[in-house]
Amino acid sequence: MVQRSQGESAVCEAANPFEGVQRRIDAICERMNIDQGIHARLRKCERELMVNFPVRMDDGKVKVFTGFRIQHNDTRGPAKGGIRYHPDVTLDETRALAAWMTLKTAVVSIPYGGAKGGVICDPKVMSQGELERLTRRYASEISILIGPEKDIPAPDVGTNPQVMAWIMDTYSMNKGYSVLGVITGKPLELGGSKGRFEATGRGCMLSAKMAAKHLGMNIKEATVVVQGFGNVGMVAAKLLAKEGCRIIAVSDSRGGIYNPKGLDPEDVLRHKTETCSVVGYQDSETVTNAELLELQCDILVPAALEDEIYKANAPNIKAKLIIEGANGPTTAEADEILGDRGITVIPDVLANAGGVIVSYFEWVQGIQSFFWDEAEVNDKLQHVMANAFEEVMSISQHEKVDMRTAAYMLAIGRIAKAITLRGIYP
C-alpha cells in the first residue's frame, strides 16, 4: 500500500498489490479458458532476488539497504522493467510491477518479458555521492540477473538517466568493456535514445488523443488534471497543453495547485525547479492530492503511485476519461465503480507503454550502434501506440468489455501462445 500524503485516507482495499494483479489475471484466464498450466505460471514470478547490502554514508557510518530484482516472465524475450528508489518499495509491489511489465510489453507487441527492481530508500534526502555508492553496490548485487540478452533495467520513480549511467558503468567495468544494451533510459552521451525521457508522457498524450477521438471529445477544448508532476505527468501536461488542452490542476508529493482558468506547465516546472514543489505557484489555489482527483475535468491523468483511485473515492471522480500514467493507480474495486458510472479508463498497460516502447528502440539502437533522430523515434512510437490502441479497442467493442479487460485479454493471449509454442524444457 502506498503512503498517502496531505492527510489523505490510507483506507485502501488493495493492501497487497501483487494479489490484486493475480486476481485480474485469474479473471482473464478463466474468461479465455487459458490452459491451467499457463495460468499457474502467470500467477507466479519466475525469479526473485532480494539483496541486503551496505553503503557508506557521507558521515562515515555504514547503512544496510534492502533491494529487489524480480523477473515475472521472459517467454517472449528478455525481461524488461524499471528500478524504483522509494521508502515504500516492497517485495509484493515489485512483483506486481514486474507482472504489469509482462502484460505491457505483450499489449504493445514488443519482444520483451516483464521485470522490476527497487531499493527501499529515500533518494530525496540522500546526497549525490550516497546515491552513486548505493546504485553501484545495488547494480553489483543484481548483476547475476541483469544483462542485454536477459534483463534490461530502466528508470522508474526516484531514478533518472544519471542512475542508469552508474549502473551501465558498473556492469561494464565488471565485464571489461562497454555494454550499452544493459540498461535503457541512459544519457544520450552513453548510448541513450532521443525522445526516451519524454516517451512515457508522450504515450499518455497519444492515448488521450485517441481515446478522446473515440469518445467524440474535442481534445482542443478538454480540461485536464494531472496527479504527479514528475517525469511522466509533467511531460504529459506539457504535450497535452500543446494540443490545446487546458491544464487546470497538477500535484506532486507535497500537494497540488488548481486554477480553473488554466496553468502553464512550463512555468509550473520553473517554479517547481526553484522551490522543489508545485505548491505555492502564483495565481493558484492549493489542493490536496485527494481533492485534486475529485476535481471537475474532462481528462484525469493519475501519474503518481499505485492505488490512488480506490473504492472510497471512485464514486467522487468527475472526469470523463482517465489516462493511467502511473502503474496500477486504480484498484479493481474502483474499476467496477468507474465502469458503472460510464467513465472510460485507458489502462496503464496501454496508456503509459511509451516508455518501454522507446526503451526497446534504445536497446535496438545500442545493439546496432546506429542511432535515430528524434522525429524518427516519435514517429515509430506513435505507430506502435496507435496499433496497440486499435487492437485493444477492437477487442473491447467485440467482446463488450472495458479497455483494461480488453488489454489483458490481448496480452495474455499473446503470452499464452508464446508459452504453448515454446513448450516446457526439458
417 classed as catalytic:
no
pLDDT in tens, 250-307: 999 899 999 999 999 999 999 999 999 999 999 899 999 999 999 999 999 999 988 8
Annotated catalytic residue: which of 116, 194, 238, 272? 116
Q: For residue 3, is pLDDT > 50?
A: no
Determine, yes or no, domain membership for 401.
Answer: no
Cα–Cα distance, 424 to 404 (Å, whole number): 29
**210 shares its domain with 331:** yes
Q: Is 313 left (phi over 0), alpha (psi -120 to 50) or beta?
A: alpha
Q: Which three cell numbers stand for residue 31?
A: 474468461
pLDDT in tens, 98-129: 999 999 999 999 999 999 999 999 999 999 99
Q: How many residues does the chain have?
A: 426
Q: What CATH number did the domain enclosing 123 receive?
A: 3.40.50.10860
Among 10-14, 119-123, 140-144, where is mean pLDDT lowest?
10-14
Domain end point (choices 351, 386, 401) = 351
Grid cell 530525496 — which residue?
A: 124
**343 shares its domain with 203:** yes
pLDDT in tens, 187-246: 999 999 999 999 999 999 999 999 999 999 999 999 999 999 999 999 999 999 999 999
Cα separation values, 265 from 17, 244, 245, Å: 32, 12, 11
* Enclosing domain of residue 174: 47-182
CA proximity to 160, closest of 101, 85, 102: 85
Grid cell 557510518 — which residue?
A: 61
- Report which residue type is found at 160: N
Q: For residue 4, is pLDDT > 50?
A: no
Query: What is the model's pTM?
Result: 0.92
Tally of domains in the chain: 2
**For 315, which DSSP code?**
G
**176 shares its domain with 118:** yes
Q: What CATH number did the domain enclosing 249 receive?
A: 3.40.50.720
- Report which residue type is found at 75: T
**175 shares its domain with 207:** no
pLDDT in tens, 48-98: 999 999 999 999 999 999 999 999 999 999 999 999 999 999 999 999 999
**For 111, which DSSP code?**
S
Residue 17 and residue 397 in contact, taking contact as beta carbons nearer than 8 Å: no
The H or E element that residue 299 is part of is strand 299-302
Q: Where are the beta strands (DSSP E) in 166-245?
A: 223-227
